[in-house]
Amino acid sequence: MLNRFSRRLFCTASPRPWLFVGLGNPGDKYKGTRHNVGFEMINAFAESQGIPMDTVHCKAIFGQCFVGDVPVFLAKPQTYMNLSGESAGPLAAYYKLPLNRVVVFHDDMSLPCGVLRLHHKGGHGNHNGLKSVIYHFQGNREFPRLRIGIGKPPGQMDPKAFLLQKFSATARERIDAALQEGVGALKLLTSKGLTESARCFNTEQKYKHIRVQNMQT
């Protein structure tokens, strides 16, 4: 028998769902590391909406809810970062979602720590998780992504070591604030759509980027 969520989902009047996929690595070893901010964004959104992340579906920790009248699926692939597409691809296929309804959350070293961007599409930027997602989307790169800035490695530090480090206290404060800003952007996304929410959110984040740069000079 269909549960209440399923009955509403399959109602012909229900808007098309969104799938939010946060990238990261499973296990306590990686919790709180820079490479796992995609997971943290999923956790923040789930907490804001009271969504239990208590199901395993298509190799992902999974949750579902309605934000207003809009169905939203949340997923944290448990495949390890480099194989994230093994979960994201089947999830999108299972729900028969066009890729413009799949938003991928990921860490980004090209943005300052705590600065976010919401984009309609893009490349992989040498991010192995994104490479895997694109591969399992049959090479299609035209899916939205929420980029979460973690900053660049200091000096000659190995980027891989940097990604697997936990944040400093100051950086942690920036990330925590950014996660709440991301939650606001995602709520706007579900009500106003990608184009309008990205325009408003990216304008705000552009000014934040400028403030961060001024603080560093």
Report, as residue numbers or ranges, the catalytic residues: 35
Burial class (CB in 10 A: 0-12, 13-18, 19+), 44: buried
Q: Which residues pair with 148 in a beta bridge?
A: 107, 116
Angle 194-216/169-192 helices, nearest 10 degrees? 160
Q: Which two tokens stand for residue 67?
A: 């934000």
Edge-to-edge order in the sheet of strand 145-149: 55-57, 60-67, 70-77, 18-22, 102-108, 145-149, 116-119
